[in-house]
Amino acid sequence: MLKIAVLVSGGGTNLQALIDAQSSGKIKDGEISLVVSSSEKAYALERAAKAGIPSEVLRRKAFATQREYDGALLSLLERYHIELVVLAGFLTIISENVVSRFPNRIMNVHPSLIPSFCGEGYYGLRVHEEALKRGVKVTGATVHFVNEICDGGPIILQKAVEVQLGDTPQTLQRRVMEQAEWELLPRAVSLFCENRLTVENGRVTIREESF
pLDDT at 191 over 90: yes
Give the pLDDT score at 59.
96
Of 43, 41, 53, 52, residue with least CA distance to 12: 43
210 pLDDT band, cuts 50/70/90, is low
Beta strand pairing call for 138-145 and 84-87: unpaired
- In the predicted model, is pLDDT for residue 167 greater than 70? yes
Rounded Cα distance, 8 and 118, in Å: 19
Residue 147: pLDDT over 70: yes
Which residue numbers are catalytic?
110
pLDDT at residue 209 in the model: 77
Average pLDDT, the chain: 96
Q: Are 38 and 45 in contact (CB under 8 A)?
A: no
Strands (E), 20-151: 30-37, 55-57, 84-87, 106-110, 138-145
Q: What is the dihedral of CA 13, 57, 33, 197, to 10 degrees?
A: 60
Residue 149 has pLDDT above 80, yes or no: yes
The alpha helices in 51-95, defined as continuous H runs, are 66-79
Q: Give the span between the Cα atoms of 80 and 58, in whole angstroms.
A: 15
Distance (Å, rounded) from C-alpha 130 to C-alpha 123? 11
- The pLDDT confidence band at residue 96, using thresholds 50, 70 and 90, is very high
The b-or-e profile of 47-65 (16+ CB within 10 A means b, else e) is bbeebebebbebeeeeeee
What is the set of domains in the chain, with CATH numbers? 2-206 (3.40.50.170)
Cα separation, 177 vs 17, in Å, equals 10
Q: Is the pLDDT of residue 163 over 90?
A: yes
Cβ(5)–Cβ(85) below 8 Å: yes
36-51 pLDDT, tens digit each: 999 999 999 999 999 9
Over residues 15-22, the mean pLDDT reads 98
| From 108-112, 122-126, 137-141, the region with the lowest mean pLDDT | 122-126
Question: Among candidates 159, 152, 49, 67, which has minimal Cα distance to 111?
Answer: 159
